[in-house]
Amino acid sequence: MIELNNLTKRFAQHTVVDALSFSVEPGEVLGFLGPNGAGKSTTMKMLTGFLTPTSGSASIFGCDIRTQALQAQRQMGYLPEGAPCYGDMTVRGFLEFIAEVRGYRGADKRVRVDTAVGQVELESVLGQSIDTLSKGFKRRVGLAQAILHDPRVLILDEPTDGLDPNQKHQVRQLIKGLARDKIVIISTHILEEVTAVCTRAIVIARGQLVADGTPLELQSRSRYHQAVTLVGEGPLDDVALAALPGVAGIEVNQLEHSLTVLAKPGQVIFPQINALITQQGWAVRELDVERGRLDEVFQTLTRGEAL
């Protein structure tokens, strides 16, 4: 497992990471969230041994990142933001180079490279120089070098940043496949990444932990949790909806003939609304129940407001 205990990093008088503590178990895909400048990348760099903490501790399966750095690094794969590679090398040449750096030779090297290539589906571009690849394939090359030694921990910094929707989907499917028997930490400011691939999310702001839970638990903190949106063929009676038990308020969109009915905390209002629609004979084109809006929760948490 990964354990952080009061991990802190200061640059001069500026505290970037402030007494951060949490643990991650095998099989978890942890979304590490925060606005730009929150301390996400600095935390990742400390975990991977690229930066030395000012105070506190972190360990990877019992190996302290300060006193047992090499032992800890052997157990992790790291995809930094931007996926830096040697652009003039071919994909195969680059991965063979990384395998040799990792200490593999002969048949072991071939097996490691071929396995990583198969996992991230790079067969079609093995002979191409990395500079000629699309962003999506460059990201795959970065993932391949990170998993080449079959690490127990995979740390990915902004793994889908700059990719188009199809490329994002491909990379997310790869991450899901890799996560079955590993710890995966994804540092991101892209909220859709959390609901797409993560089993748990941590939110930090100003270097401090402000929330820790499953994506559904975080969504349930939204004012839109259990909200019901109705889109009608014509005007809808918001007064009748507002009178229903459990309703906290209504947001009206006149242009789209839609209403979003907000639920009081802990209340489920869909059955009452559905019954009212039938009773009134309203022509409703769409009827949706929301889990909650993660972007609203994120904004509230990182602005320091209470939920």
Comparing 188 with 202, the larger pLDDT belongs to 202
Express each pLDDT in 30-67 by its tens digit. 999 988 889 988 998 999 998 999 999 999 999 999 99
For the record, the structure tokens of 275 come out as: 């019954």
**Spatial distance between the Cα atoms of 188 and 181, rounded to a whole number of angstroms:** 22
Residue 29 has pLDDT above 90, yes or no: yes
- Give the pairing of strands 200-205 and 29-33: parallel
How remote is the C-alpha of 299 from its chain's centroid?
16
**Spatial distance between the Cα atoms of 250 and 243, rounded to a whole number of angstroms:** 11
For the record, the structure tokens of 77 come out as: 């794969």
CATH classification code of 226-290: 3.30.70.100
Spell out the domain ranges in the chain.
Answer: 2-220, 226-290
Band of residue 168 on the pLDDT scale cut at 50, 70, 90: confident
Residue written as tokens 């942890």? 30
229 burial via Cβ count (<10 Å: 0-12, 13-18, 19+): middle
Could you give phi then psi for residue 224, rounded to 5 degrees? Answer: -95, 5
Q: Which CATH superfamily is domain 2-220 in?
A: P-loop containing nucleotide triphosphate hydrolases (3.40.50.300)
The string of DSSP letters for 117-163 reads: HHHHT-GGGTTSBGGGS-HHHHHHHHHHHHHTT--SEEEEESTTTT-
The model carries a pTM of 0.86
62: left (phi > 0), else alpha (psi -120 to 50), else beta?
left
Q: Do domains 2-220 and 226-290 have the same CATH topology?
A: no
Express each pLDDT in 100-116 by its tens digit. 999 999 999 999 999 99
Express each pLDDT in 227-280 by its tens digit. 999 998 877 888 999 999 999 999 988 777 789 999 999 999 999 999 999 999
The mean pLDDT of 187-200, rounded to a whole number, is 87
- The candidate with the shortest Cα–Cα distance to 140, out of 156, 157, 117, is 117
